[in-house]
Structure 1
Amino acid sequence: MRIGIGVPNQVRNLTASLIPTWAARAEEAGFSTLATTGRYSYPGVSDTVALAAAAGATTRIGLLSAVLLAPTWPGALLAKEIAGIDGVSGGRLTLGVGVGSREDEFTVPGLGLPGRGARLESDLAIYRDTWDGKPVGNGPNPAVPSGTRQVPILFGGYNTPTLRRMARWGEGYIGGALPPAMTAPSFEAAKRAWQQAGRQGAPKLVVLAYFALGDAATGRANIRDFYRLAPEHLAESVVLCTTPEMVKQSLADYTDLGVDEIIFVPATDDLDDITRLAAIVS
């Protein structure tokens, strides 16, 4: 199982200037992937900004949005942004998307919470056309340079439409930062949807788990703050690893479930937590 690490772009009131340093240290420590967390209505740094910063500060490590709330964006604009980040990184980006569930995240006029699933269906086709270099709008020009690739897409979410989209458009599924007993059914459902759609092989399975190894109290407070408006049963179930034993148990649990990659998402912006985590998982 591959082991990635998150970027603290949605740690409340983080110091934004540390993101490039965080990315470079994570690459040096040998993690497989750098992943962002998606929110708008929270005092953090946008996924696209954080990913672009990480792309410029690194040369090898994979990049992932886990997950970006795609229907909050105009489809063509997001497609161009993602293609640009992927190009800057040399083709290291994977787009992880979800539909979102809170009205305050949807700030673009005409792109509200209702109808977000249908919009995403339409936008996925726009992404492909944009990345294929088809002209945008009524003009003669494409939005992206020639040679732009089809950026791989992973899907996060818990309902049937999400799994159906994953099987049609995606390369795999991202499970939330919940205990294995809660995420295992979603992984099984993702594999069934993949097979029912006639896809070859198996979907890539990625899971998230928070960690705070240097300052557990601050980490817990940050997680409570981030999820304070989430459904109570989910907020209380979020996995936060605060000891080496908890990290190792998460690795063992998800290895047993056949997950391809685990992303440890920082609950603080303590740069030393990169070294602490690397020492445990190396």
Structure 2
Amino acid sequence: MDVGMTLPVMEPHIDPATLERWARLTDESPFSSLAFGERIAFDNPDALTLLGAVAAWTSRVRVVTTVIVPQLHDPVMLAKALATGDRLCGGRLSVGLGVGGREEDYAAVGADWSSRTMRGMAERAGVMRRVWAGENVTGATRPVGPSPAQAGGPELLVGTHGHKTVRSAAAWADGLAGMSLDLDLAAASDLFDTARTAWAEAGRPAPRLTTSFWFALTETTDDPRGQVHRHLRHYMNWIPAEFVDALAPTAGFAGTLAELGVVLDRFADLGCDEVQLIPTSDDPRQVELVAGLLG
């Protein structure tokens, strides 16, 4: 099983120098990918702009967006931006797509909240595939380019932990970009099985199965569970604090590096293709420590 690292883009006051250091450390270490997500009504960097910087800072790891919400973008412009990013990173891009769960993000860009449907996401994914195939979808004098580095465009993974969404995405997605809130391995196994069955019934190749979870290490903080809690209080600001406080005691991973290795082994036993770790602080020692575990 591969293990990827996520940039700490959701940490408060994150600066470009820290992001670059994380990206270069990850690229120089045994990680398989470098991931980052999208939010609008928040103080994180814009994901599509960051994509260009990450392409320049790295040369080896796969670059993964987990996840882009296509309903927040014009699909043709999104296809152009992602194709550009794929060319800049030499065909290393994987794109997670999800409908998102924050009404304020939709409101911030004037997007229709009622478009937050599986059908709406599938339609936008279809438009992007057509653009990447060189089809003239706009009626302009030329098709919208550039062509992506990967023939047909980057792989598209559905970002969800819902079985209904997974089954719906089997018609268009290449796999799953999951998220484990509480490291429930039985739930993760069930979701993977749902994906395998749905893709097989759709006559599609076996799906790529990835997941992610928050982590904090005792080697970098005296209070790893508190670190996770503080991160969630900042990141999950659209949710009432009492619900975040109820989630925090069991959310993600908080423990030693050795214990993290055991958790990763258990996900590997489920047939997971890749786990992307989500940091809960911007301390780059986390990259170095996990790299040592993987090395």
TM-score of the alignment, normalized to the shorter chain, above 0.5: yes
TM-score (norm 2): 0.87
CA distance in 1 between partners of 2:251 and 2:70 (Å): 23
Determine if contact 1:35/1:66 at 8 Å carries over to the other structure.
yes
Aligned to 1:182: 187
Taking a change above 3 Å as real, the CA distance of residues 241 and 46 of structure 1, as seen in their structure-2 partners, is farther
Aligned to 2:211: 207
Determine if contact 2:52/2:85 at 8 Å carries over to the other structure.
yes
CA distance in 1 between partners of 2:140 and 2:156 (Å): 27
CA distance in 2 between partners of 1:147 and 1:79 (Å): 9
Report the residue type matching 1:130 in the other structure. Answer: V
Report the residue type matching 1:268 in the other structure. Answer: S
* 2:125 is the counterpart of 1:124: yes
Match of 1:247 among 246, 249, 260: 260
Taking a change above 3 Å as real, the CA distance of residues 211 and 159 of structure 1, as seen in their structure-2 partners, is closer
Aligned to 1:198: 203
Identity within the alignment, %: 28
Matches within 5 A, 1:149-160: 149=151, 150-160=153-163
Report the residue type matching 1:226 in the other structure. Answer: Y
Determine if contact 1:9/1:50 at 8 Å carries over to the other structure.
no
Determine if contact 2:180/2:212 at 8 Å carries over to the other structure.
yes
Matches within 5 A, 1:214-253: 214-215=220-221, 216=224, 217-230=226-239, 232=243, 235-236=247-248, 237-253=250-266
Determine if contact 1:16/1:45 at 8 Å carries over to the other structure.
no
Determine if contact 1:12/1:222 at 8 Å carries over to the other structure.
no
Aligned to 1:57: 57
CA distance in 2 between partners of 1:98 and 1:71 (Å): 9
Taking a change above 3 Å as real, the CA distance of residues 229 and 134 of structure 1, as seen in their structure-2 partners, is same
C-alpha distance after superposition, 1:228-259 (max 9, x if no partner): 44484894443134421331122122012110
Taking a change above 3 Å as real, the CA distance of residues 79 and 188 of structure 1, as seen in their structure-2 partners, is same
Give unpaired runs (5+ residues) of structure 1.
Answer: none
CA distance in 1 between partners of 2:165 and 2:232 (Å): 25
Report the residue type matching 1:34 in the other structure. Answer: L
SS in 1 for 2:113: coil
Determine if contact 1:103/1:112 at 8 Å carries over to the other structure.
no
Aligned to 1:260: 273
Taking a change above 3 Å as real, the CA distance of residues 261 and 30 of structure 1, as seen in their structure-2 partners, is same
How many residues are treated as equivalent by the alignment?
Answer: 280
* 2:139 is the counterpart of 1:134: no
Determine if contact 2:80/2:146 at 8 Å carries over to the other structure.
no
Determine if contact 2:64/2:93 at 8 Å carries over to the other structure.
yes
CA distance in 1 between partners of 2:239 and 2:251 (Å): 11
Q: CA deviation at 1:136?
A: 4.5
Give unpaired runs (5+ residues) of structure 2.
Answer: none
Comparing 140-149 with 120-129, greater Cα deviation is found at 140-149
SS in 1 for 2:56: helix
CA distance in 1 between partners of 2:148 and 2:12 (Å): 38
SS in 2 for 1:66: strand
CA distance in 2 between partners of 1:170 and 1:31 (Å): 24
Match of 1:166 among 166, 169, 172: 169
SS in 1 for 2:171: helix
Q: CA deviation at 1:95?
A: 0.5
Determine if contact 2:228/2:251 at 8 Å carries over to the other structure.
no
Determine if contact 2:83/2:147 at 8 Å carries over to the other structure.
no
Comparing 9-18 with 247-256, greater Cα deviation is found at 9-18
SS in 1 for 2:124: helix
Determine if contact 2:87/2:148 at 8 Å carries over to the other structure.
no
SS in 1 for 2:170: helix
CA distance in 1 between partners of 2:233 and 2:253 (Å): 11
